[in-house]
């Protein structure tokens, strides 16, 4: 690292910190937060203890991958794998900012090195391979790294003959890697084909939000598809559809309840019940 890099990095950290502060803009001071849904002032600690669900109205706030792992896995059992796989910039992509810079900003903002964490852990004593996405990292977009780590997690499930769990949160494929991102849809879906052929249970948990290339690949290929309460799930974004058909959409369009009504998902689970639901499904599939 040169001294110039050091200053560049410090600047990015400062930007990221500012971003974080605007996010907690809804909060009143450090101890209080406000629910977007019911407008109630809540103690931050109380919300945390309630799995980041509003104690007043039950609205499920978006959570990051690490929080999800803490909630879902038996304490101390999750071991992260494949974290050595990190983002390249194969197309040398620049829009209004360079891809390299966007990646560095996302890293600083989230303390993650990509939009997914893969690993092995236990859910109520059941060993599973898992991939957990993080929307905070570039909108949970799927580029080469996400595709590779999801595929490796599936291959790990195959190796160990254990169930595979994918928790999705994504705006879709990552545009900055263009065609390479598109091909991650094929890669991950082909890996699901292998899980199918091996007869291994694959459960997907679609969380707020799951869209685009992730919806059109491994997210909707679960043997069991669970949507977390309050999640919005779709292929095309609401705005794109409105522009195409030139009419406004129902208010509950693309919500978990809406998808349930149209037969697109198996189960809607509250965050509180998610872990026990997955554990129960795993044990029900044991011979």
* Residue (121 or 140) nearer to another protein, CB: 140
Binding of another protein at residue 170 (CB under 8 A)?
no
Applying CB under 8 A, does 144 fall inside the site for another protein? Answer: yes
Using the rule CB under 8 A, which residue among 13, 15, 24, 88 binds another protein? 88
Q: How far is the CB of 177 from another protein (least distance, A)?
A: 8
- Compute the distance between CA of residue 189 and CA of residue 183 in angstroms, rounded to an integer: 10
- For the sheet with 267-269, list strands across it: 79-81, 116-123, 126-133, 164-170, 202-210, 224-228, 267-269
- Write out the binding residues for another protein, residues 94-133 only, by CB under 8 A: 94-96
Q: Cβ contacts of residue 126 below 8 Å, gap of 6+?
A: 163, 279, 282, 283
User: Do the bridges between strand 267-269 and strand 224-228 make them parallel or antiparallel, or are there none, so unpaired?
Assistant: parallel
What is the C-alpha separation between 88 and 145, in angstroms, rounded? Answer: 8
CA distances from 201 to 101, 197, 278 (A): 39, 11, 11
Shorter beta-carbon distance to another protein: residue 242 or 273:
242
d(CA 254, CA 63): 19
As measured in angstroms, the least distance from the Cβ of 74 to another protein is 30
Among 33, 72, 87, 267, binds another protein (CB under 8 A): 87
Nearest to 74 by CA among 131, 123, 130: 123
Determine phi and psi for 25, rounding to 5 degrees: -60, -35
Asked whether position 33 contacts Zn ion by CB under 5 A, the answer is no
Least distance in Å: CB of 225 to another protein?
A: 9
Q: Compute the least distance from the CB of residue 50 to another protein, in Å.
A: 31
What does 31 bind: another protein, Zn ion, none (CB cut-off 5 to 8 Å by kind)?
A: none
CA 229, distance to chain mean position in Å, is: 14
240 binds another protein (CB under 8 A): yes
Task: Candidates 11-19, 33-41, 54-62, 191-199: pick the segment binding another protein (CB under 8 A).
Answer: 191-199
Between the alpha carbon of residue 202 and those of residues 212, 219, 223, the distances in Å are 20, 10, 5
Q: Taking CB within 5 to 8 Å according to partner kind, which of another protein, Zn ion, none is near residue 183?
A: another protein
Residues numbered 53 to 92 that lie near Zn ion (CB under 5 A) are: 54, 56-57, 59
In this structure, are strands 41-43 and 32-34 parallel, antiparallel, or unpaired?
antiparallel
State yes or no: residue 140 binds another protein (CB under 8 A). Answer: no
**Residue 218 contact, options another protein, Zn ion, none, Cβ 5-8 Å cut-off depending on partner type:** another protein
The nearer residue to another protein, 43 or 190, going by C-beta atoms, is: 190
43 binds, among another protein, Zn ion, none (CB under 5 to 8 A by kind): none
Measured from the CB atom, is 54 or 69 closer to Zn ion? 54
* 80 φ/ψ angles, rounded to the nearest 5 degrees: -70, 140
Measured CA distances, 100 to 12, 91, 210 (Å)? 12, 11, 24
Which positions touch another protein (CB under 8 A)? 84-88, 90-91, 93-96, 143-145, 147-148, 151, 173-187, 189-194, 196-197, 212-213, 215-221, 234-237, 240-241, 244-245, 249, 253-254, 262, 264
């Amino acid at each position: 690292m040169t001294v110039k890099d050091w200053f560049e990095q410090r600047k990015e950290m400062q930007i990221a910190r500012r971003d974080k502060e605007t996010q907690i803009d809804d909060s009143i001071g450090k101890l209080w937060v406000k629910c977007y849904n019911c407008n109630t002032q809540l103690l931050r600690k109380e919300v945390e203890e309630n799995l980041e669900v509003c104690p007043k109205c039950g609205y499920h706030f978006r959570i990051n991958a690490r929080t999800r792992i803490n909630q879902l896995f038996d304490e101390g059992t999750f071991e992260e794998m494949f974290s050595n796989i990190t983002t390249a910039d194969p197309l040398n992509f620049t829009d209004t900012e360079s891809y390299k810079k966007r990646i560095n900003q996302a890293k600083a903002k989230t303390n993650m090195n990509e939009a997914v964490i893969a690993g092995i852990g236990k859910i109520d004593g059941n060993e599973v391979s898992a991939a957990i996405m993080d929307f905070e990292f570039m909108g949970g977009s799927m580029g080469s790294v996400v595709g590779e780590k999801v595929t490796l997690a599936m291959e790990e499930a195959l190796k160990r003959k254990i169930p595979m769990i994918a928790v999705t949160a994504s705006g879709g494929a990552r545009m900055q890697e263009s065609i390479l991102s598109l091909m991650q849809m094929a890669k991950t879906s082909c890996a699901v084909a292998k899980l199918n052929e091996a007869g291994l249970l694959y459960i997907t948990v679609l969380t707020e939000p799951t869209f685009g290339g992730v919806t059109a690949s491994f997210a909707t290929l679960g043997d069991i598809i669970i949507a977390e309460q309050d999640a919005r799930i779709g292929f095309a974004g609401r705005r794109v559809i409105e522009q195409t058909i030139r009419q406004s959409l129902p208010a509950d369009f693309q919500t978990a309840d809406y998808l349930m009504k149209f037969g697109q998902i198996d189960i809607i689970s509250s965050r509180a019940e998610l872990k026990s639901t997955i554990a129960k499904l795993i044990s029900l599939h044991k011979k």
